[in-house]
Amino acid sequence: MHAIAIHGGAGTITRAAMTPALEAAYNAGLERAVREGHNVLAGGGSSIDAVTAAVLVLEDDSLFNAGRGAVFNAAGEHELDAAIMDGATLEAGCVTGLKQVKSPILVARAVMERTRHVMLAGEGAEAFAISQGFEVVSPEYFYTENRWQALVRMQERLTGNASVLLNDADKHGTVGAVALDDEGNLAAATSTGGHTHKMVGRVGDTPIIGAGTYADNDACAISCTGDGEHFIRLAVAHDVASRMRYLGESLQAATRQVVMEALPALSGSGGLIAIDRFGNIAMPFNTSGMYRAAIDATGTLTVAIYRD
C-alpha cells in the first residue's frame, strides 16, 4: 500500500483573484508533482525518494515559492530553506539560507545521508553543497518578475503607501510532500523561499524538524505551510504526531485540532498535509485556500486549491 500528498502553500486564495489560465497552470503543476512522486511509489520506490521527486518538481516550477520562483528578502536576495525526514529511522536533514544552489531539497537530503549533522546554514550549507557537486546557479535563475513586483509592493506599503494592496501570494508560500511506501515507511519533505521582504537571515518553520517538517513511522509524516513563526512556537508538526502517539487521536482529529484550534488561538494561519501508517491523508487549512494534491491508497487523484 502506498500514498502521497503534496502542497504548494496556503493563504488567502480566491477564485476572484485567479484567471482561468493561472488556475489551470497551478493545477497542472500540482498534478505533475504528485504524479512524479507517486510513480516512484508505484515502482516500488521508497517514501524518501518519492517526496524528494515531488518537491523537486515544485522547486523547478516558478509558480511556487521554492527554488526557481522564490520570494525576495529585504535586501532583494533569495534565501532558500529545505528539510527532509525519514520516518523509519528519524534521520533528518535541513538547510537554511541557501543563495546559489538550484535544488535545496537535494542538499537537505545530502545533509541527512552524508553528514553526522541535521542542519547546515548559510555559507557552510553552500560550501557543503558545492563540495558534494550540486548544481550552482546565478541569482537570476531564481528571479521571476511577479516575485520582484511583490517585493516592490511590500516596500511601498511599508513606507506608508496604504493604497498598495497585498495578497498572501505576495507574502509567503511553501511546497512540501508526505508519502507512505509499500514497506510501511513514512517520509516528509518541505522547501521554501520564506517571506517576501523577510529580514536577512530570518529562518521560518520549514527547516526546523518538529515545526514545519516531521516524520515518524509510529505516527505520521507532516509538511506545513503558513505563518512560520507561529508554527515554530507551537511545534506544529511534532504536536500532531504527539497527539496521535500519546492521546491516541486519529490523523484527522490531531491535524484538525492543531490547525483549526491551536494555530488560530495565536492568530496563526496556514495548513499542512499529513499521512499516517495506514495511508490515511489529511490536508486541513484555516485559510481560504491551499494548493494541494494527493493520490491515495486506492489510486484516486485529488487536486484542489480552494476551500469549497
pLDDT at 166: 62
Secondary structure (3-state) at 241: helix
What CA–CA distances, in Å, run from 120 to 69, 84, 96, 127, 281? Answer: 23, 13, 7, 10, 31
Average pLDDT over residues 148-167: 76
The domains located in the chain, with CATH, are 3-306 (3.60.20.30)
What whole-number distance in Å separates Cα of residue 279 and Cα of residue 287?
Answer: 25
Least confident of 65-69, 166-170, 184-188, 212-216: 166-170
With a cut of 70, say whether residue 162 has pLDDT above it.
no
Mean pLDDT over 200-212 rounds to 97
pLDDT band at 169 (very low <50, low <70, confident <90, very high): low
Question: Which of 17-21, 78-82, 291-295, 298-302 has the least mean pLDDT?
Answer: 17-21
User: pLDDT class for 12, splitting at 50, 70, 90?
Assistant: confident
**Statement: the pTM of the whole predicted model exceeds 0.85:** yes
Active site residues: 174
Q: Is 150's pLDDT higher than 90?
A: no
- φ and ψ at 237, to 5 degrees? -60, -45
